[in-house]
Structure 1
């Protein structure tokens, strides 16, 4: 028995249940179930049959056959074994009408595929519709009991008379129309989850079709992202979704093919194969020819591939349109299969001799028209094992055209081409170039480990035995050796793969070895291969945090002319500008970023995509410069270009930049979604440092969005992520550590915040932190030190922050410093000066488009506002801040506004810990701690440091800090000193 209504069809199921309720009260009805092919009409009918059976109502099935002779073919099964009375005319409509009414009386008659009805069956159905419509006269007492007539059909193929009668009945006669439209993403995700469990066969009544049973598949992942991709590919229609899953759906290959399991696809496609089998001979040939052409096609081309004359070809295509297998597509009388997977089923059903001949014809046609290499390669891939090197070169050419848009397809074509090309002889150099292109395509499609292994193999052979070009400039026949230029490219590709796997030491060593092959000083004109290697070498140093070492070399390269074209020149410029900004050299970097942005904006997407890192680097440089609209524009452009499974690693980087912008701009829901997607992509390509930063960003977003009750869990999430990163590993690590520190302070753990930043940033001055963010992080440390009662340390840190902010001159970095300075002045009792700094910081955050930080600053300023301008002004400030925070979904800021308002309203003192007189309340709070939190808090109050506690309790240092931070929040304290005061005699023992 099925476990509930069909997924995503709750509203439709409720309407069908109402129809059965009416039948039990003696009221008949007509139900129309309508929808696209694959929308699940039969499944809804089956569910209705099951529900009727559970109520003890008889169920009769009828289905329009695809072929047959004689009248009333639809209703023959419904007539039962007895059929018409002896002596009745088998063509008499009245006799059939009375028979069906008698058989269906008091139950449910389900007619599936009504759009295929023969004329006599159609006339009988129309008569039944009229008799059951609410506008028809009530039957006499001698008439059979009322029943429910269910008609499932496809509107595109249904006879006009049926459509007219049903439309009229829906408007005037109470016919119930149930539309099986596309499912939403959530329903697709739920359906995929249900398919992972063994399917349960329902008791749908006599004659129920087997299509109701659900498949038990091993599905490609269970995340929301994969459900969204499958939803788009299937158009939300469960029938097509089943086919895609059966084929082993691969987003990188879609829509060229669903996946690699054609046998399973054909097994699942039995109903679709039956549709194709019901066609006439010419139409079947046309369907197969159309499948060979793929995409959109012209009837004349179909006729030529199928070996039909022009007139017969048009007639065959017209039959395909009537059968709704193909539909008009765009202008120019072009056609396309109603869904790409329909064409793929038709293609998989072709026999091999036909396929080879058809694809050879199609390749010839494409060449005659001068079609792009991508179109020709789609046919050449089927001929590569028969037509050899000629087909292989078409595939390589097609791969070069599509690698930016569809790298997984490019990688497959290059693999096929390499299998067909000899490993020795004149093709050695050509083969080596294809192998490097194959590695690039694998990297772009997310198969980085595979690319790394292939690149190492190629480099081992080419590096140990440099090519010895003969008189013609070709390598000899001694093996797959690399020319000097290809050797440079091999080093760049190998270093790229290592970098993307976060193996920075290996990447730097490999790139440095390749750089040793370049003359120094660099030549006036750089080859594309040399430019590529220099760019990769620079990227490695940027991500290692050793960008200062590479800046002179990059500037030397920028002065040379490159043969690699405008995209490579722009990429080098962006990398140099990024290094300047990253290093805190704003005076030099800011104008360079502006110049490079203009260069990149002038590049078409296809050209910019050849250097996919450039948009991510440019967006991050603009983010450091606080140019958030420009950063969003460039990061989103890169994200839009990296579709279809392309450049997963770069997509993850772009998502991280957009996550940070969304978080600052108060779009917390969007920030969380992007962080989750970045984390999934990074895990998929095997980039642990990117996973760490994405997790830390998600944790930071969750602290803001869910408030202090969730802060402990979010901080623990970030701490677990940071625990796997070796400190001082460069940009990724320091960025993740700074986010963890932010989350710790917001969660109430000032001590943990200070320790995290000191450990991860290299000490009090944070020498290992990127200079562009150093002022705000020093200000964060000052705030944490102040919360811990160390005003002297806070003052020292704030002085360093002001000096760094002065060198940078960035408004939002200054805003963070001003806010920390205001808090320090408030602690000294300088409330007027504090309020001035608070207001300067708040205005900077407002002008920069950071509403959450704006609201947080206003909340922090409320006590000073109350002392300087009165409680009413402070309450107005809190109301503004709370309204802003609610609009952003920043629950933490809303909670803080409510807490400060309560303190102001009660005229209580601002204290770091509970009042000494609150002994009984502290005991109650102590009992609220978990056993482990009590152990950690007891030892911390006794003066032990976190590492000592960790050793004593056999815990990690991060776990101790997490428990301690949770205890701080529950007790309402912010430092170990306050913790000891708060616990006092309540501490056990």
Structure 2
């Protein structure tokens, strides 16, 4: 007892780390081998924080900077909170770092570093791009700090952006950085587990799961706390059993036993008085509550206020929040071991203890304490809006809560923390009474935040409640437009979606950016709006007319690109004017500009403008890579380039490139292009028996939305079916695909499949239908810009002529016209097939010319690697008694390089040897970091090396060093 009668607990926390020698050794060893990631897991109170704290003080880590941040249970509308906390005091170390302009993007997050950060770069106008640039800036700062350990504690409470950043960082970490992440295993979601499960190959990995202490370790812990050489076996067993081997629970039990005076010093060791007197509950809750009950009124008030505040706060804030709390009471709470001071703030030593106290406070007093806490935190230099909103809500001060929560949501959206903005706004809209206009405005903001998220609930009831009121015309229009976007993004009721967008567009005159967006949606031929072709065209024209009123250059470019796409795939010659306007626009690094060139390039490829397609998609890839090398637009551009390479006959290495692109695409729709390329190659090479089945799957993905791809799929589907005598069934299976692109006016891209359709119809004894189809496309395409029409229609007419008796020369002339047109695109695969048909048509009238055409076709098939077609042409040649040369070795799939490096492995190895990270290499080679990791690991294995340093030394030996 102290002189004033208070109970003094004495030491509460062990001065030594007990029972974790092996875990500490593993942790230190991992951290000393950067780049590294170490994960420390275990239940609450098991000692994760203590282990990491002891690690930071180890002499083996001297010279390494410790950067520590903790995830909070009560979140702020401030993304990347623990990362910001870890870096905000690093200004002196960064003063001479020479950071790039990218690091200037961190100014809104780290105002404490404004003196050392470069000027803020120009906004990108795209949330994902902005986020990626922030990730790049944070990674650069981490690298600039030299040897360092980034500690992220309690990651089970991490916000989504923190997890995304850790995933980004660990895919290509700075070479001198180690990352330590702690979390409760039982509370960890799959996203958190994945972060630590898939770092780059060069990253040292360690996972440490802290188990409960056994009796022997519990004895050591108790003896250290009691400063005793020995405790009885019975007391050690009791503490282990009652505390379940959890160090926090053991500490609490010992503190309570000492407060009760039920520990006895007997025969030179500590013992319990009697079992009956010491019926202490298991674990923490009752122990903590009994200790709090033994405090004076002033100290108990401080403890209750600390439990309500939940996080550490300055002394003045804690005392202001504590009803009846005094400085003496705070001193007593600290002496009791319940409250601790860390970094100038006071709070419970452990969140479990705070929670136990909080749950015991009567509801009325709890509301009062929340109100006092709200008033107290307002006096902080930087008011934590999330904490303030939480306390206001719990105190019942609804009007104030709404105002602060909305401010917090706005702050979150400014900082691109859309998930936190959504959470705050969703709570306000669901639980607060709001005026009609205010509710509608906040619902619009909720829709904006939801649009940026991957997974959101069905918000139709929230929108319906807002719309069920008399609202200003423009506000109602924007509300309905946001509802339409929500329905689209979550795949709900397409009919309601398009009706909603159509109803909104006329009243969006005050928001030309949104109006043009809505018009694009209604006019785009690829969208299943149910509108007639002429009406779609009118909406697209209106969208183009709206462009001059849009303020943001990048948004204007986005609209121009989408409108150019619509006009290209419908053969509207006015697309060239939109292309020229897009090319002349400011060359901003913005994902919307990248998307514009992507749309232009993709549509150009489908329409047969192959050169324009490649150039535009390369531009999109260049911009997209600058915005985010691993982002969606960059990978979509790569997928588009795969498709254009297939159409242009640039097949060498294409089969290996498709999986690399697929590796970076998660969305099912985005994967269509790469999947289609792989399946079409399989059909041509004959390397997979399920190739047509794969085409069916891709075709199902493209229905009923993106009809542009269907012409390519139908063409590749029908050719083998016709050859196998299954033309009638294949025509029936593809009829819906043909009807889709025709009903939307996409004749300019659908004509690609007309030769295959005509050939199948002739094989199915439907020559009349084949003639009608050819005539229909000829009439529909008259006057349109459709390069494929000059190829496909003479090809189709040649097939019809060849089916007639005596039509050989006429067929050959049509085929010759088609072949020259295909050569001009270029489209060598189609040109080779046409020449093969021309050879068949001329065989009876000009055998030498027929033989020359067949040999030319066979050579083209061989150069492409189209072995199914080459085998067919070679079989014809044998029957004709001519030699078309030996079949070249198959090029489908990875070549066998034995112990030597493949060209791609050599390329990756040479770049890695220069010190580039996997992410850097991925950006240069337009592949995913995972693909780089795979090739690098293979190269190291073949060369018998274990590190990048050894690889650099090996390659430095000479130009032949990488051959194995």
TM-score (norm 1): 0.48
Q: Which has the higher contact order (CA 8 A, sep 6+)?
A: 2
